[in-house]
Amino acid sequence: MRIDFNLQYHRLTRLVHGDDVVSFSELVRRSPKAGEHGAAEFFLLRADLAGQFGLTDRTELSLDIPYKRATVQVDIDDEHHRDETFEGPGDLRFAAKHLFVVAPSFQLAGTLGLSIPTGRLNKTTAASYLSHDRAAALGVTVPEHSHLQLGTGTFDPFVGTEALYRFDRHWMLYGRVEVDVPFYENRYGYRTSPSGVVQLGPAARIGETGFVASLFCEGLQSARDRFDGDDIVGPGGRFDGSFGIPNTGRFEVAFQPGLSWGITENLTLNLQIRVPVYTRIRENSAGRDVQLTEPVGAFLGMSWSF
């Protein structure tokens, strides 16, 4: 049996328009109208308590219990964004993992799991996604709301596979593929898109010190989330209440250097940073793809086996 505790911190993307990544002051200089929106910064602090229990030599069950704290800081309040913090439990993830191949130099495993909707949600409506210009054209008012969510609000299956190849007693190569497959909308009409992650990279033991260094490359792909709600009708016309959510479809490539330290036979500390090198959002509110540079994220973990 093993218990893991992981802590991660991310400072997320600043306000970005078009294909340019610029400071807010530079953005306002180029387009004074953009200053009406104000600058916004997003922060995520997440702690996970996870446990693994071995049913047999090849099969284990796992449960991940996350706690999230999401924070927004803005220069100018409006209906879409204001200074706020939303925190609480995230969605539980329950999984079964089976080792299909166990050899001295190679291991291959598969995972099948389910995300359970225990994360808190903020209610949104179709009007929550209207830009100020679109709302003005329709002659309607955008209600004050929050886009911060701690879960999907749905039971979401996921499946994955991972492999480990040992070249010798020091060097190894690790690879992982995992796909989340949400297939229905939550009670507010929001449907999270399917997403997949691929991770590959080497790791090496540093002499007899108990340290293991690693460098993984990760690719993340997700489609656009969808909202299915009532049409919005105003003096200026009608807006279809079913649409793809702007700024949600994402393709990202990141490097993840890490270091783990086996303090004892049963206790290990892990440190990892995530360095995105390419991020592209599939269509913003103006209907254009957006290329971003994301700040670095930090991960700190501890594993105890008994």
pLDDT digits 0-9 by tens, 13-43 = 544 434 444 455 555 565 555 555 555 677 8
> Quick one: the chain helix, strand, coil %, rounded to 5?
10, 55, 35
Q: Which residue has the higher pLDDT, 278 or 203?
A: 203
pLDDT at 229: 85
Comparing 10-19, 111-120, 257-266, 290-299, the range with the smallest average pLDDT is: 10-19
CB 255 within 8 A of CB 207: no
Residue 105, token pair as written in the block? 């130099």
Task: Centre a 10 Å sphere on the Cβ of residue 135 and count the other Cβ atoms it contains.
Answer: 19
Q: Residue 22's pLDDT is what?
A: 47
Residue 219: the pLDDT is 95
Residue range 151-158: mean pLDDT, rounded: 95
Which residues lie across from 171 on neighbouring strands?
204
More confident residue, 132 or 274: 274
Q: State pTM to two decimals.
A: 0.84
pLDDT of residue 234: 85
Q: Give 265's pLDDT tier (boundaries 50, 70, 90).
A: confident
Architecture of domain 2-305: Beta Barrel (2.40)
Residues sharing a CB contact under 8 Å with residue 269, sequence separation 6 or more, in sequence order: 260, 261, 263, 300, 301, 302
* Model pLDDT, residue 127: 83
Residues in the chain: 306
Name the range with the highest mean pLDDT among 18-22, 108-112, 143-147, 165-169. Answer: 108-112
> Any idea where the domains of the chain sit in the sequence?
2-305
Residues 6 or more apart from 53 whose CB is under 8 A from it? 1, 60, 61, 62
Question: In degrees to the nearest 10, what's the CA dihedral of 88, 255, 107, 167?
Answer: -150
pLDDT in tens, 47-99: 999 999 999 999 999 999 999 998 888 777 777 777 889 899 999 999 999 99
**Tens digit of pLDDT for each residue in 108-128?**
999 999 999 999 998 888 888
The backbone region for 19, taken as left when phi is positive above 0, alpha when psi lies in -120 to 50, beta otherwise, is alpha
Residue 205 forms beta bridges with which residues? 212
Tell me what pLDDT residue 278 has: 82
pLDDT at residue number 70: 86
Residue with tokens 């306000």: 15
